[in-house]
Amino acid sequence: MNRIIKVEPFTKEAFAPYGHLLMREPGVPPIKTTPPIFADRIPFEVDDGSAEFVYALLKRKEFKFSALERHLKVTQGFFPLYGGPAIISVAPATDPNDLEALPSPDSVRCFLLESYTAFVIHRGVWHGTILPLEESFGYILATRKETTDDSIEPLYDGDCQIRDLGVTFEIQL
């Protein structure tokens, strides 16, 4: 079965159930007004392990997916470096103790990430691989070393749980 998803604007309010946005212009006065100006801040948390940064690379591919993944022990952060806007796919967290718990296909949402915005996702929020609009895209992934290790061999009992939702999502810009 295929399902069409329309990309939505990426705002703090719309993304609040899934995580936090770190914005150049968050719509509130700067935290610090002397250079360097601190425009915005968001939390980043790692449980039972050590924080690390990963330099991640992607190539443009068709705007389709059927699998999502979740991490329970880190509020993973995504910091674009180059390659212009990209599409972020998310769905609400499900029971962290149930390895078979999946979000409903109609709860999946897609947002348009601008190259000057970053974000973190709440623990357990289901998310797809970023889909860049340009040919090449690079981002810094703020994550947990043990979660990265689990991502190399994704295991349900690790902190990189990848599941196919049984639906092919086609994204419309």
Ligand X SMILES: NC(=O)N[C@@H](O)C(=O)O
Smallest distance, ligand X to C-beta of residue 134, A: 17
Of 7 and 120, which has the nearer Cβ to ligand X? 120
**Token representation of residue 124:** 């357990």
Of these, 56, 102, 133, 140, which contacts ligand X (CB under 6 A)? Answer: 56
3-state SS class at 126:
strand
Q: Which amino acid is at 135?
A: E
Smallest distance, ligand X to C-beta of residue 154, A: 7
Burial label for 27, CB within 10 Å (0-12, 13-18, 19+), is exposed
Of 118 and 141, which has the nearer Cβ to ligand X? 141
Question: Which of the stretches 60-68, 82-90, 105-113, 147-155 binds ligand X when contact is defined by CB under 6 A?
Answer: 147-155
- Binding interface with ligand X (CB under 6 A): 56, 69, 76, 129-130, 141, 143, 147-148, 151, 160
